[in-house]
Structure 1
Amino acid sequence: MDLDTGVALSRHDDHVDPFPVRRAEPAHAVPAGRMGYDLGAERLLLHTVQSAEAFESLLTTGTLRPDPELAEEAFTDAYEWIHRMMAARLPTRGEGALWFWARTRRKHLVDTCRRSRGRVLLTCRVPRERVLLSHFDEWHLVLNKGLGMPRLPGESEDDAFARWEEEHDDFDARLRAAGMRDAPVRDWPADLRTEIEKSWESIFDRGNYGPFECWQGTTHALNNDEVLEAVRII
């Protein structure tokens, strides 16, 4: 360990880490200044916080893959859907998804680190074609089985919400009439399931949203040559 920089120069006498590794308090885990996100870049700047065990797996094997067992059971429908979208839209294959911030505020990332002591912040650059980008806030509509409905050009926030409420109430009434209001999406009648899942695809279209909103990314795997830096959060 270089005590001046906090960078681990090697793990073993015969092994040098493929990227810088340092230890830092949450406030210093994220470098000061502009984050530098660019959703149109060929290689996307991404951040993810992983467990110490996952980080060791990356160092040992050279590749980090998701553990599908870690997905929250309450949101099985949402995760199964995003996995299907990844299979359809990405050239890669795999089980589950690794989750990244593709654009967020520095303050939010620091706050995430404050809740993640003992874990590891990874700063990465991953080829754009291997990342499925989705709008962070609208992803919660998928989690909560709500209709996806982005704001129309020139539409106010209040008008957009009123339009969404009307459409949501109509959809909910049809779902109740089918006796499926509390059933998993996978058990819904095919027409209702297709309708809501098609509406969710709006979260992938950057044109539906403003230029400064938060985006997340999912991949099937992360390779160690795509990591720029690792910070053990203390």
Structure 2
Amino acid sequence: MYSSLTSVIQKWQMEFSKNGRLMCWTVMERSTWQRLKAEGELTCPISNTDDDPIFQNTYAWMKDSMASAGILAPAQGLSPWWCWVKRDERHPEPFIEDAEGLRDPVVLQLAVPCEQVVLSCFDLWHFVLNNWYVWSSELDEQDFDRAKEDVEEGSDAAQQLQQRMQKSWSAVFELDQSAVDMGPFEAKSIQGCFWTLRLTDVTAVIEPVALTSYH
């Protein structure tokens, strides 16, 4: 259905890189930024994340996808750092709304080695979070819906259908895919995942008051 995962990921790494670096932005608590300045580099233990437990399997799927593409976690029990690569059309950095829920947020602008970042479509990622099938055509969508109607929960057929659905999720890395209409490529919101946050990759620190609103 979709191209090799590794080749797709590498394609977009190169597409967005400049001199081997990929510009991105990550939102965090100021205390984390202070730790980064003190320690030089940080990974993110799973225990430090506040991801909804209902999404545990889908975040595990993202980590498995990174590993399948050769981007391995430096240790067990880690969650990747998430970043914005392009928040909106003609607006690469986050909006002020992206900092909501943080007590004392700060935005770091980064230039990360491109081979360390996996890019994905932010809007299509919600198909993964909601356990939805990403169809490749109208006929493919209809075929999956028919199969879903006939399957019994817990059966071998149900497991095969779940595997088919998870395979379809690889479309989140196909940033120019158009089967599921997420708008033109230029207008897509693109996110990234990487394992290690390094002080040497920070190119600017942006205060929330400098961010513009989505509305």
Tell me the TM-score normalized by structure 1: 0.67
The percent of aligned pairs where both chains have the same amino acid is 23
The Cα offsets for residues 60-114 of structure 1, whole Å up to 9 and x where unpaired, read as 2111212313122010111010010111214442421100001113398233356
Is 1:82 equivalent to 2:67 in the alignment?
A: no
Q: Which runs of 5+ in 1 are unaligned?
A: 1-37, 153-159, 182-186
Q: Please name the residue that 1:133 is paired with.
A: 119
Q: Please name the residue that 1:199 is paired with.
A: 168
Q: Please name the residue that 2:185 is paired with.
A: 211
Q: Please name the residue that 1:230 is paired with.
A: 205
Q: Please name the residue that 2:82 is paired with.
A: 99
- Counterpart pick for 1:53 among 10, 25, 31: 31
The Cα offsets for residues 5-59 of structure 1, whole Å up to 9 and x where unpaired, read as xxxxxxxxxxxxxxxxxxxxxxxxxxxxxxxxx6254211101101122212211
Asked if 2 retains the 8 angstrom alpha-carbon contact of 1:202 and 1:208, the reply is: yes
Change (3 A) 1:146 1:114: closer
Aligned with 2:24: secondary structure?
strand
Paired amino acid for 2:96: D
Aligned with 2:16: secondary structure?
coil
Paired amino acid for 2:201: E
Paired amino acid for 2:97: T
Q: Please name the residue that 1:109 is paired with.
A: 94
Asked if 2 retains the 8 angstrom alpha-carbon contact of 1:124 and 1:228, the reply is: yes
Name the Cα RMSD after superposition: 2.8
Change (3 A) 1:232 1:74: same
Aligned with 2:83: secondary structure?
strand
Q: Which runs of 5+ in 2 are unaligned?
A: 1-14, 179-183, 210-215
The number of equivalent residue pairs is 180
Change (3 A) 1:167 1:222: farther
The structure 1 segments of at least 4 consecutive aligned residues displaced by more than 6 Å after TM superposition are: none
Tell me the TM-score normalized by structure 2: 0.72
| CA distance in 2 between partners of 1:140 and 1:180 (Å) | 24
The Cα offsets for residues 107-131 of structure 1, whole Å up to 9 and x where unpaired, read as 9823335635621101001111100
